[in-house]
Amino acid sequence: MTGRPPGKSSSVLFAVTIFTSAFLLFQVQPMLAKFILPWFGGTPAVWTMCMLVFQMLLFGGYAYAHLLSCIQSVSRQACIHAALLAVAALTLPIVPSADWKPVGDEVPGLRITLLLLATVGVPYFLLSSTGPLLQKWFSTACPGSSPYRLYALSNTGSLLALVSYPFAFEPVFSSTAQAWLWSVLFLVFALSCLMCGWKTASSEVANPPSNAAFSEARADGDVRLPRVRWFMLALLPSIMLLATTNEVCMDIAVVPFLWIIPLTLYLLSFILTFESDRFYHRRLMTTITAISLVSTMIMLSRGCMFGVVVQIILFFANLFAACMLCHGELVRLKPSPKHLTSFYLTMSAGGAAGGLAVGLLAPLVFNGYFELPLAILACLLVCIGTYLQDDKHVQLQVPEATRLKFGIAVVSLFFVYFAFFAQHSASVKDAERNFYGVLRVEDDVTEFPVRPMRDMVHGRVVHGRQFTDAQGRREPTTYYSHSSGIGKAMLAGDNNQPRRIGVVGLGAGTLAVYGRSGDDMRFYEINPDVISLARKHFTFLEDSYAQIDVVPGDARLVLERESAQHFDILVLDAFSGDAIPVHLLTSEAMQIYTRHLSANGILAVHISNSYFDLEPVVRALAEESGLDARVQTCDRGSDAGVAFDSVWMLLSHDGPLLDVVCGPDTSKAPHRIVYWTDDRNNLLNVLR
């Protein structure tokens, strides 16, 4: 009967629909990011750009929900929403077209944005609007019930999607199968959403409760000022989320598992704070957060004193504490249901602004990853503000606007400091930051250096080292010394026979020292700043006796388009510290490499890593391609102290050649193998 509120079954329908929409909303993020990761160089910025696009779509969805809810007729709202759901269904399935692969010098960020908008833009936009829109419909249909618990349920669905992806979906389904399954579930969601609209329209209440007008009128008087605080309290956790993810992925791996952990903590803070006030104690959380923030700042300045595992734990604990503080304060400021969509719209605007700050603004302004220290500083100001507000013995009669202006002024001063002063030091000769990360060229400025040297540093990891004295400038160092696996491969063979050598990953250009007269050496490098810094500050390339060619672009995509190069040696060395370029170690990538090898050519794969054992992956690829494999290790301090610890694997169709280069394979134990493809790969299988 029209006019009667929906029963328990209707409430369940709303809950299931909101839960499903949130599950799909956050399941698609790591799924599509992983799908396109091989197309854009496997850099952490791929995930950052994806998050930025998704946050902007989320903001658009919340804005749409807010505008749609302004229409008085729920029936008209439901009809408009149904029409857009039909349009979204026509864009399925959400399988990215290979036509979006970069083919030249396109701007990666712009291409990722257009790809995501074309592939999942409309469905994601409508899923984003579901939470606030259906909560508004729920509050209209059931005026006696609080819609804010549905927000906690929504975040629970999001959390379940993230937790289940690396353990249930990623290992079982291929990326294409995941996209098709998601598309089918979206159709199911669309039908349930239409039912919610029909149920609400058929049970719309003409006269709200008599006390609602008073409570809503009272809320109108204080809604303007809290909007600024809503925005800031949503902005800071968003910046903390993306900046923390960048810090962790920079030194470990660009994989969904490490994207999901911080995003899970971010969502968990929403769930706990919006579900009940028993999980947020202002004084206790303020103290915990302040201690965590200060500890993280100390760690950032003295990182070498902490192990990597300890650093990761501190980073994630700091993120969770900051999110709990900011989101707990958001809950304390939440308005009456009349302003529900406005509240969520402002929150989403803050989240999107955080994505813009980390994804677009920071790379333009900073030559280093300084957004995390700035966010920590801003969170410390929030701690001070909440502490003073909660302290009954300290009564500061300072207007809210004045305190806000003071906080912005302090953060701005530190922003200027990091932008113009902190990123320069006496040892840094040059520094660049772009889509692919932060690069620095540093000299040894100690008072009595053993030998003068210059390093190319990516993040915190040395990418190449050259001695700057006349005797040492042609000496191979770090992972490329004479006793390393690649050094043995380069020194083997007839010195009078010219060779074709391919190198995936330029670095400082160290391997060019092995070039002999008559050799052709072809370097593939995706990061244009690496090319410019290697030529500007290092002499490896110009000193080489070989003919040197440097090819810009993603090596895998370039090699895929090139005709067979017939390399005598093809070097795979595109790691950024301990980060794993998974897309370069798959079956599809191996087919490309073997096509470019000569009949008795050697494929040299650099597998040095602190956290992952990549030998089983490379052995699986070698076995599939019919190649013999040898592991070559080198200890730090070899070759008169110029070598770093390194592990290389040499692969070839010519087993006797490997015996000459490396010695016979004396291992009798069966080798473990882990098979990776573009659709199926999981770093948990090779965790040390």
Judged on CB neighbours under 10 Å (0-12, 13-18, 19+), 33 is buried
Checking DSSP bridges between strand 453-458 and strand 437-443, what pairing results, if any? Answer: antiparallel
396 vs 308, residue with greater confidence: 308
> For position 172, what pLDDT does the model report?
84
286 beta partners: none
> For position 86, what pLDDT does the model report?
94
Pinpoint the alpha helices (H) of 142-174.
148-164
Residue 145 pLDDT > 90 = no
Q: How many CB atoms lie within 10 A of CB 171?
A: 13
Measured CA to CA, the distance from residue 99 to residue 89 in angstroms comes to: 21
Residue owning tokens 């087993």: 655
> For position 275, what pLDDT does the model report?
72
Instruction: Find which of 296-300, 488-492, 662-666 is predicted with most confidence, using mean pLDDT.
Output: 488-492
Residue 303 pLDDT > 60 = no
Query: What CATH number labels 1-206?
Result: 1.20.1250
Residue 274's pLDDT band (cuts 50, 70, 90): confident
Q: How many CB atoms lie within 10 A of CB 5?
A: 15
| 93 upstream amide cis, omega within 30 of 0 | yes
Give the CA diameter of the chain: 97
Residue 219's pLDDT band (cuts 50, 70, 90): very low
Checking DSSP bridges between strand 597-606 and strand 567-572, what pairing results, if any? Answer: parallel
- The DSSP string of 484-548 is SHHHHHHH-S-TTS--EEEEE--TT-GGGGG--TT-EEEEEES-HHHHHHHHHH--HHHH-SSEE
592 vs 3, residue with greater confidence: 592
> For position 646, what pLDDT does the model report?
87
Residue 182 pLDDT > 90 = yes
> For position 440, what pLDDT does the model report?
85
User: Average pLDDT, whole number, for the chain?
Assistant: 81
Measured CA to CA, the distance from residue 550 to residue 185 in angstroms comes to: 46
- The DSSP string of 603-614 is EEEE---SSB--
> For position 368, what pLDDT does the model report?
73
Q: How many CB atoms lie within 10 A of CB 446?
A: 8
Measured CA to CA, the distance from residue 308 to residue 317 in angstroms comes to: 14
Judged on CB neighbours under 10 Å (0-12, 13-18, 19+), 328 is buried
Token readout for 288 is 């915990």
Closest-CA residue to 10 (of 130, 134, 153): 134
Token readout for 90 is 């026509």
Calculate the CA 509 to chain-centre distance: 28
Under 8 Å between Cβ of 257 and 612: no
Residue 671 pLDDT > 70 = yes
> For position 672, what pLDDT does the model report?
82
Residue 370 pLDDT > 60 = yes
Residue 256 pLDDT > 80 = no
> For position 414, what pLDDT does the model report?
63
Q: Average the pLDDT over 296-315 and give the result.
A: 72
Query: What CATH number labels 479-686?
Result: 3.40.50.150
Residue 136 pLDDT > 70 = yes
> For position 147, what pLDDT does the model report?
66
Residue 339's pLDDT band (cuts 50, 70, 90): confident
Dihedral pair phi/psi, residue 321, rounded to 5°: -65, -45
pLDDT tens-digit map of 442-494: 887 554 456 788 888 876 677 888 988 888 888 998 889 888 999 999 998 77
Residue 192's pLDDT band (cuts 50, 70, 90): very high
Residue 394 pLDDT > 50 = no
- Provide the whole-model pTM: 0.74
